[in-house]
Amino acid sequence: DAGITQSPRYKITETGRQVTLMCHQTWSHSYMFWYRQDLGHGLRLIYYSAAADITDKGEVPDGYVVSRSKTENFPLTLESATRSQTSVYFCASSERTGGSPLHFGNGTRLTVT
């Protein structure tokens, strides 16, 4: 089915461990985004990508790494997880055309113990 898929849906990890959240879209959208959602903060942009091999920082990039070797995949890696990174993470994609809205996945709920 066409769409945007995030995995895993839920993840529990320990402080200091590396964890990678996956995002895959089937539309061949140029733009992809990673947001985190915390109570009282709404959604905050972590990183975004305008195309394969082009990534840039958003509002809260510290502690995260992204890559985009293929248009359809945009993994987010926490190199050394901290408790403050406990959150719900959403991936989104968008066409390159001006005015194109965001299409979101259903999120990954990450708990760092």
Residues in contact with other proteins by CB under 8 A are: 30-31, 33, 35, 40-45, 48, 50, 56, 58-59, 90, 92, 94-96, 98-107
Kindly tell me which of 17 and 41 has the beta carbon lying closer to other proteins. Answer: 41
CA distances from 100 to 29, 50, 77 (A): 10, 13, 27
Q: Min. distance of Cβ 5 from other proteins in angstroms?
A: 11
Q: Min. distance of Cβ 101 from other proteins in angstroms?
A: 4
Q: Six-digit token pair at 16?
A: 């200091």
Kindly tell me which of 45 and 65 has the beta carbon lying closer to other proteins. Answer: 45
Instruction: Tally Cβ neighbours within 10 Å of residue 95.
Output: 14
Kindly tell me which of 18 and 100 has the beta carbon lying closer to other proteins. Answer: 100
- Residues 45, 96: Cα–Cα separation, whole Å: 18
Is the preceding omega at residue 8 within 30 degrees of 0, hence cis?
A: yes
